[in-house]
Structure 1
Amino acid sequence: MKALPQPPPLNFEADEFALFLDIDGTLLEHAAHPDAVRVDDDLLALLQAAERQLGGALAFVTGRSIAAVDRLFAPLRLPAAGLYGLEHRLSANGPVEAAGEPADIAALAEEIAAEFDGANVYIERKGPILALHTRAAPQLLARAIRLVEQALDRLPPGYRVLPGNAGVELMPLEAAKGAAIRRFTELPAFTGRRPVFLGDDTSDENGFQAINEDGGIAIRVRPQGDTLAPYGLGGVPEAISWLKRCAGYPPTKAASS
């Protein structure tokens, strides 16, 4: 794949941009277990500065639940689309539109957990979404994908399987980051601004498509294979450095050399 150019530095204080951020693999390095990641004070301060400069036009768009996001980033409670847009908090510190776990997904989760009993696969139950994380056992990814795909025949219509870099998720068709981003762009804090989205996985491609269609800036972190994003950043450190430049942080010695 041809290397993607780095995105141009933006000025968050220019009243031009709305920023949408994936979390895992974009702001935080992946871990074998989703609860093993930590948010440091430097990242919290960066997000607070960016939200202030953007006039509140900053939102998380993530596969995590909003409750999980709030635990990670406490005390910060930014606007957020959780579970790929099945949950929303449309304003900072506002109420959460949550999503419950259907009975058929609960039963499937129990069945798959029994199938992988003793294996180093983490089964994450996120309401209507079932995620199998194989980062600690990459040799089991193909088996996990096969099990979830076979389960589609036994579920009601309206679900899809989304394989990722280190796992697979089963989710309702309406779970799509692009739709979540479009919902935010209709809100007063976001409307009229050029949307910018940073993501790192196949689940973010739908968001990149929406951004491109709206004339925005789509950025894939650690790009692998084909992507709809015209820009790329090498990894989480590069994404954080780029965000700091956009927020007006002084360049580090390494960045300026």
Structure 2
Amino acid sequence: MSVRLPDMGYTSHLLPPPSLAELTAARPVALFLDFDGTLIPIASGPDTIVVPPDLPDTLAALSERLAGRLALISGRSLEDLAQYLGNPPIFRAGSHGGARCDPEGSSIGEPPEAIPPAAMTALEEFAAAESLAFEPKTHGAALHFRSRPELAARTHAFARDQAKRHGLQVKKGKAVVELVRAGVGKDGAVRVFMAEPVFAGAMPVFIGDDVTDEDGFIAATDFGGFGIGVGERESSNAKYCLENVKDVYEWLKP
């Protein structure tokens, strides 16, 4: 197994996973899906994504196939996800797993607090000064530097400084860095959902494309499952890989 190796390896060196049909034929499976970069291609900015119009129906049908053992876990807030998906009848977690709801939309547990206003203001001012995209969120805020890749190191350093000042946590992604409350992670969402009766006894599979999904891979492994990395990137916790978003949809087919 390629779990928690000391040296990072590229997911392209990993094998494709057994088909979902094979896995579910052997035992109950609980599936955890990232959103950006996994179900939809990465775009130039958070507001320029293209979401297939039938994605909510696809997720609802997939959840039915899995007897309700499906959860979407995204760095986006639940409110932001709802703009693109509505409220499909599946388990969902936003804000990197910090805010969670059941298929009826009822909250599971307490959501994390918003970051301090001073931290929000500092990130917004930095973004304006450096011509970066600023994304305020319900429980955090992000700086996107896809259009200014030369500012990656400076942006990360600024985020680390603000995190230290305000007791926050830094979340890194593809050309984005975000500040959230300490202790927030996709692993926490997996653990909360696995405690729900419908998920009991199932083997968890977490699919994601970014650094923040590594926590989800670890949690899935801890529960006897595994992680699937999407795309060619460094990962020390994925067991299998899929090449791109198209391959994810192919893998999800009955």
TM-score relative to the length of structure 2: 0.87
Q: CA deviation at 1:28?
A: 0.6
The amino acid of 2:185's aligned partner reads A
Structure 1: gaps spanning 5 or more residues:
249-257
**1:70 counterpart SS class:** helix
1:168 shift after superposition: 0.9
Distance 1:205 1:116, change over 3 A: same
Alignment match, 1:163: 172
Which structure would you say has the larger RCO, counting Cα contacts within 8 Å and 6 or more residues apart? 2
Does structure 1 residue 183 correspond to structure 2 residue 195?
no
1:53-202 matched pairs, under 5 angstroms: 53-89=65-101, 91-96=102-107, 98-102=111-115, 104=116, 106-117=117-128, 119-156=130-167, 159-202=168-211
The corresponding residue for 1:50 is 62
Deviations 1:5-33 (A, max 9, x none): 00110228646111110000100111122
- Residue in 2 aligned with 1:253? none
% identical aligned pairs: 34
Name stretches of at least 5 consecutive residues in structure 2 with no aligned partner.
Answer: 1-8
Letter in 2 for 1:48: A
Q: Give the CA deviation at 1:86.
A: 1.5
Offset at residue 82 of structure 1 (A): 1.0
* Alpha carbons 2:72, 2:92 under 8 Å: kept: yes
Partner of 1:80: helix, strand, or coil?
strand
Provide the C-alpha distance between the structure 2 equivalents of 1:42 and 1:227, rounded to a whole number of angstroms: 33
For structure 1, which segment, 205-214 or 167-176, has the greater mean C-alpha deviation from structure 2 after superposition?
Answer: 167-176
Aligned equivalents of 2:37, 2:45: Cα separation in 1 = 13
Question: Retained in 2: the 8 A contact 1:109–1:123?
Answer: no
Amino acid at match of 1:181: V
The answer to whether the Cα contact below 8 Å between 1:31 and 1:135 also exists between their aligned partners in 2 is no
Report the 3-state secondary structure (helix = DSSP H, G, I; strand = E; otherwise coil) of the residue aligned with 1:140: helix
Contact persistence 2:208–2:228 (CA under 8 A): yes
| Alignment pair present for 1:209 and 2:218 | yes
**Aligned ranges 1:9-24 → 2 under 5 Å:** 9-11=19-21, 14=25, 16-24=28-36
